[in-house]
Amino acid sequence: MFTHSRVKIAIIGAGPVGSLCACFMAENGYDVTVYESRTDIRLDKSTSGRSINLALSERGINALRFIGLDNIVIEELTEPMYGRMIHSIDGHTYSIMYDINKSKCLYSVSRKELNAFLLTKLEKYPNVKLNFSHKLVDVDFNAKLLTFQKSLENQQQTVKPDVIIGCDGAHSVVRKHMIRQPMFNFSQTYIDHGYFEISLPSAATKDTLAPGHLHIWPRSTFMLIALPNKDKSWTCTLFMPMDQFPLILESENEDILRFFNEYFKDFMDLIQPEHLLNQVTNGKARTLISIKCNPYHVNDNFLLMGDAAHAIVPFYGQGMNAGFEDCTILNQLLEEYDHDLKNVIKTFSLRRIEDAEAISDLAFYNYIEMRDLVARKSFLWRKKLDNILNKWFPQTWIPLHSSVSFTTIGYKQCKLDNQWQDQILFRMFILFATFFSISLYFFASIMSKSL
């Protein structure tokens, strides 16, 4: 086996997962080169992020902890969200806390800022080389060759690393080449719904939204959400069926405002109409894709991680957390297999696929919860019951949202636990209903005899 410093690792994609994965491999002493098709995100001065704000939770934090970055990221980059603030259509609001003790929270973070932070950290490793504007154009799986188009110099470069890790996101180029390899199972599913981003700058409003919350305007088939930023601005996102967007966003200005005033009255109190209209004119609705692969590797030297392997819809705020957790698992496997990379790569798929598929399903489900169920009485009762049972049995009764967001229990196990909890609650309900009916019957008999 090579000594680690002689093993060349190529990481494709310098997004949050690619950057973190590179940090992990650098910490392990490998010779790491990162290739990113775009220019350095730190040089991009545009304020709009490429995506929804991210909600960092335990799995992501745990990965950052491995390289000692958890506290600094939380302190310098994030805003805490202790619960959901639900905005009814009549302007009434109520808060649903994530944790009964109000101590656990999600951390809202700008994708761009987190990415920039990790890149700056990454640059400090002497065994890491960062190549921006390197677009992967060809992969030779047998010869282990990667060919890049260097957009700045308008020339191509071919490299031959020992291991290639594709962290190049939901529209991964590494995966595009893997699709042609035998026995590589793959699916991409676009959901009918898409999203449109609206920023709510802190300066634009006198009032603002209550801090410490993820704000939701659930409207059954669509919803608006708002996540806080460090500078007191909010990143808001409108989710709705893709075919509905043109009807609203491409209509006359007064119709656009009428729609927002009708469904999001208290949101409109915080934003200047011109500012909203300006964003509607210049923005565009984007699609949401879910990716599944099996396996995540080709041969024993090509591996996919993060969104490239298992992009999910964003409704659980777990996309980046799952990607960061991939890094933790890769690190565990390096230790477990004593850096026998061939085995590490093959085992990664086995270790990860079921959990990634579970969070993919849960994320689909959570969209229904967010845009519809949170506004229902039955949901609030279930939440209360969950909290009571969690208080009585803190080790065994962990509600689904908590186990997903505040633990590192495997996603599949979280899903199974929730199914088991649903069954218990259903049986308790039947038992209670039966007991109540029998009592009512005896009470009625006694009453009729006494009359």
Residue closer to its own copies by CB (options 81, 293) is 293
Q: What is the Cα–Cα distance from 308 to 174, expressed in whole angstroms?
A: 8
Pick out residues in 155-174 that bind its own copies (CB under 8 A): 171
Minimum gap (Å) between residue 168 Cβ and its own copies = 13
What is the length of the chain?
451
Take residue 1 and report the two structure tokens written for it: 């086996």
How far is the CA of 127 from the CAs of 13, 28, 38, 64, 419, in angstroms? 17, 10, 22, 19, 46
Residue closer to its own copies by CB (options 65, 292) is 292
Minimum gap (Å) between residue 137 Cβ and its own copies = 13
Residue 350 binds its own copies (CB under 8 A): no
Place of tokens 């990379």: 341
Residue closer to its own copies by CB (options 171, 376) is 171
Minimum gap (Å) between residue 245 Cβ and its own copies = 12
Q: At how many degrees (to 10) do helices 16-27 and 58-66 cross?
A: 30
Binding mask 320-349 for its own copies (x = CB under 8 A): ------------------------------
Minimum gap (Å) between residue 182 Cβ and its own copies = 5
Closest CA relative to residue 227, chosen from 249, 199, 247? 199
* Phi, psi of 410, rounded to the nearest 5 degrees: -50, 140
Single out the residue of 242, 277, 380, 385 in contact with its own copies (rule: CB under 8 A).
242
Burial class (CB in 10 A: 0-12, 13-18, 19+), 206: exposed
Minimum gap (Å) between residue 178 Cβ and its own copies = 11
Pick out residues in 281-300 that bind its own copies (CB under 8 A): 287
| Residue 238 CA from chain centroid, whole number | 17
Kindly give the residue spans of alpha helices, DSSP state H, lying in 285-340.
307-310, 319-336
Residue closer to its own copies by CB (options 73, 238) is 238
Minimum gap (Å) between residue 243 Cβ and its own copies = 10
| Residue 1 CA from chain centroid, whole number | 37
Minimum gap (Å) between residue 292 Cβ and its own copies = 8
Judged by CB under 8 A, the number of residues near its own copies is: 15
SS3 217: strand
Minimum gap (Å) between residue 288 Cβ and its own copies = 10
Residue closer to its own copies by CB (options 357, 417) is 357
How far is the CA of 31 from the CAs of 11, 161, 178, 302, 322, in angstroms? 11, 10, 24, 16, 25
Residue closer to its own copies by CB (options 285, 329) is 285
Residue closer to its own copies by CB (options 115, 172) is 172
Pick out residues in 174-213 that bind its own copies (CB under 8 A): 176, 179-180, 182-190
Closest CA relative to residue 85, chosen from 210, 222, 193? 210
Q: What is the Cα–Cα distance from 83 to 96, expressed in whole angstroms?
A: 5
Residue closer to its own copies by CB (options 263, 296) is 296
Q: Which residues bind its own copies (CB under 8 A)?
A: 171, 176, 179-180, 182-190, 242, 287
